[in-house]
């Protein structure tokens, strides 16, 4: 029985499967033991643990623990930077942080709208996923790690949504940002181009949401609280309206489902009943949060042409 390890090739930046045929690799075992069998017994446990914490090692596209039991049916992803570190350790070479995909770093650099010693704020283009998954071959976190190996996402926006995303450049900042998100002290504003007769000038949608297979639905019985505020920016022709949207909670697909629930789906959102357009017209244009020094930090991302 063959076990497949998915990683990013050095030459193309695309996924490639490595076939390992030694049967001892493929017995059901802990993830950390499996990594040592594949990459070498000299790999320190601390490096494996850190890679797992940083989501540089994924099982079936998700974060896990070193103690997880894996079988020959699981897909193991190891970030190329970590592959190089493992290889260097096994061969006795010193670890290197040399960038091997300068085109990834350049792509990421073009997204940056602000950078300090602690954070990076980017304007993510539509169609680019935030993080790798079992079926996702390129993502912000891959580009970011080629630009700065310590960079890590502290919040995500949907693949098809464009706009502001924040990355931390160190553990302390990542923990601080996580605290802010949990405390609901991060304020986000979106622009959405919707289709339909939007009632009034402004309003609030408070409808609980629940996941249903590969989509999200309004579920008053079992759903989780979800609140979205909106106000009209400009009424356009063809029953289209540009609105500013402020999610007070952070549920999956919240804005998309809430707007569709009042018969005003987002243009380009075929999943939730929106009219056809080559892109989802949802853009995270502003983020604000208090810094550790007590100041209000605010950054905006340029709005795409198709919103104008």
Tens-place pLDDT, residues 279-308? 999 999 999 999 999 999 999 999 998 887
Tell me, yes or no, whether 293 lies in a domain: no
Note the pLDDT tens digit of each residue in 232-244.
Answer: 999 888 789 999 9
Taken in order 30, 33, 39, 43, the sign of the CA dihedral is positive
What is the mean predicted confidence (pLDDT) over 15-31?
49
- CB atoms near residue 246 (< 10 Å): 16
Q: What distance in Å separates the CA atoms of residue 128 and residue 161, rounded to the nearest whole number?
A: 9
Sequence-separated (6 or more) residues with CB below 8 Å from residue 240: 193, 194, 195, 267
Report which secondary-structure segment, H or E, holds 215: strand 215-218
Q: How far apart are CA 31 and CA 243, in angstroms?
A: 47
Q: Do residues 176 and 193 both lie within one domain?
A: no
| Cα–Cα distance for residue pair 72/74, rounded to 1 Å | 6
pLDDT in tens, 196-218: 888 778 999 999 999 988 899 99
Span 54-73, pLDDT tens digits = 888 888 888 889 889 888 78
Q: So which residues are the catalytic ones?
A: 158
- Residue-level pLDDT at 97: 44
* Domain final residue pick, 164, 183, 202: 183
Per-residue pLDDT at 6 exceeds 90: no
Query: What is the domain extent for residue 125?
Result: 102-183
Q: Are residues 171 and 218 part of one domain?
A: no
Residue predicted with more confidence, 281 or 41: 281
Which of 39-48, 81-90, 252-261, 267-276 has the least mean pLDDT? 81-90
Rounded to an integer, what distance in angstroms lies between the CA atom of residue 121 and that of residue 30?
Answer: 37
Q: What are the backbone angles phi and psi of residue 82, rounded to the nearest 5°?
A: -70, -35
Total number of domains constituting the chain: 3
Residue 130 has pLDDT above 60, yes or no: yes
> What are 110's two structure tokens?
């073009």
**Separation CA 63–CA 58 (nearest Å):** 5
User: What local confidence, expressed as pLDDT, does residue 45 receive?
Assistant: 85
What is the CATH classification number for the domain harbouring 79?
Answer: 3.10.20
CB 281 within 8 A of CB 236: no
pTM greater than the 0.85 cutoff: no
**233 CB neighbour count, 10 Å cutoff:** 15
């Amino acid at each position: 029985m063959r076990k497949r390890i998915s990683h990013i090739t050095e030459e193309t930046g695309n996924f490639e499967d490595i076939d390992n045929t030694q049967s001892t690799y493929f017995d059901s075992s802990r993830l950390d033991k499996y990594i040592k069998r594949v990459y070498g017994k000299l790999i320190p446990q601390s490096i494996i643990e850190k890679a797992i914490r940083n989501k540089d090692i994924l099982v079936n596209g998700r974060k896990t623990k070193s103690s997880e039991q894996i079988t020959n049916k699981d897909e193991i992803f190891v970030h190329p930077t970590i592959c190089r570190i493992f290889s260097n350790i096994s061969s006795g070479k010193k670890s290197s942080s040399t960038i091997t995909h300068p085109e990834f770093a350049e792509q990421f650099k073009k997204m940056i709208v602000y950078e300090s010693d602690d954070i990076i704020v980017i304007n993510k283009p539509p169609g680019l996923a935030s993080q790798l998954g079992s079926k996702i071959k390129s993502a912000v976190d891959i580009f970011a790690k080629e630009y700065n190996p310590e960079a890590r996402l502290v919040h995500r926006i949907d693949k098809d949504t464009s706009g502001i995303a924040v990355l931390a450049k160190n553990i302390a900042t990542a923990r601080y940002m996580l605290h802010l998100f949990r405390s609901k002290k991060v304020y986000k504003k979106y622009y959405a181009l919707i289709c339909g007769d939007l009632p009034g000038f402004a309003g609030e949608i408070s409808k609980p949401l629940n996941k249903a297979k590969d989509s999200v639905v309004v579920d008053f019985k079992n759903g989780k609280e979800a609140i979205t505020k909106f106000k009209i920016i400009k009424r356009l022709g063809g029953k289209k309206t540009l609105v500013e949207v402020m999610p007070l909670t952070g549920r999956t697909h919240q804005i998309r489902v809430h707007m569709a629930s009042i018969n005003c789906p987002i243009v380009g959102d075929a999943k939730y009943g929106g009219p056809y357009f080559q892109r989802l017209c949802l853009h995270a244009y502003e983020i604000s949060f208090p810094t550790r020094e007590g100041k209000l930090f605010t950054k905006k991302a340029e709005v795409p042409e198709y919103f104008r």
